[in-house]
Structure 1
């Protein structure tokens, strides 16, 4: 009779795996953020792109930003960014107009309704972030430093 081989892990406990722990914490955090965004009828990707667009435009003298710039800032796939922006445009939160010098690009700006939605939603998201990460106390700075280190890969 042949014995089946079982895959094993180098970890004795699931909690020893940084990837598994990151997966669990990410899922818990995303659920909390989904709940915080629910009253605004925004998904998390919609919020990230809407607020990023608002933030980038404010820091770019409101000259507008391109979809590629927005995708790079959010570290989001350009095609996914395009789909989410289409939804935000239908909601009346952003406007796209042709780029003055690049016929392949559009300039993206936030409408008054989008600005109001982003401003309200960011308060809810930041409140949820503070609550979610409050257990870390002063160690939050260490966590942010480590996450920035991983993000540079």
Structure 2
């Protein structure tokens, strides 16, 4: 079996895999003092952010999963854990009997605020070596998201 690349470093996919693993490790370490996993953080903070943008009208699980680009079943499992921790509340949707409205509790709001500070601090440290090229990386990653 052979590859079109002479070295592993030439492969953009493999390089992305390696960088993603390094970044996720640093985020896991930043979230560890809060007893929160990365998926829990992403969904909790996304829920807070979307609710803030939506005048706290609540969002559905599907909307949250789409925003986070996360599988709906995985989203459901993570939300169950966040609900057990008392960070979110699920209540029946007023017009769609199949959906729940997801809202952030007061303790969820507090932990989301604390964890986003830690995560953004870690992001700044992790990506600091890129300097002014960070904007270009973000633009390229967004371009890949639109494919």
| Deviant stretches of 4+, over 2 Å | none
Task: Verify: 1:70 aligned to 2:73, yes or no.
Answer: no
TM-score by length of 1: 0.95
Question: Which stretches in structure 1 are left out of the alignment for 5+ residues?
Answer: 1-6
1:61 maps to: 55
Task: Verify: 1:86 aligned to 2:80, yes or no.
Answer: yes
Task: Verify: 1:22 aligned to 2:16, yes or no.
Answer: yes
1:104 aligned to 84, 95, 98, which one? 98
Give the greater-gyration-radius structure (CA).
Answer: 1
2:25 maps to: 31
Deviation, 1:150, is 0.3
State the alpha-carbon separation in 2 of the partners of residues 21 and 76 from structure 1: 22
> Partner of 1:101: helix, strand, or coil?
coil
State the alpha-carbon separation in 1 of the partners of residues 51 and 20 from structure 2: 28
1:150 maps to: 144
> Partner of 1:102: helix, strand, or coil?
coil
Question: Which stretches in structure 2 are left out of the alignment for 5+ residues?
Answer: none
The root-mean-square deviation of aligned C-alpha atoms, in Å, is 0.4
> Partner of 2:39: helix, strand, or coil?
helix
2:44 maps to: 50
Q: Aligned residues, how many?
A: 147
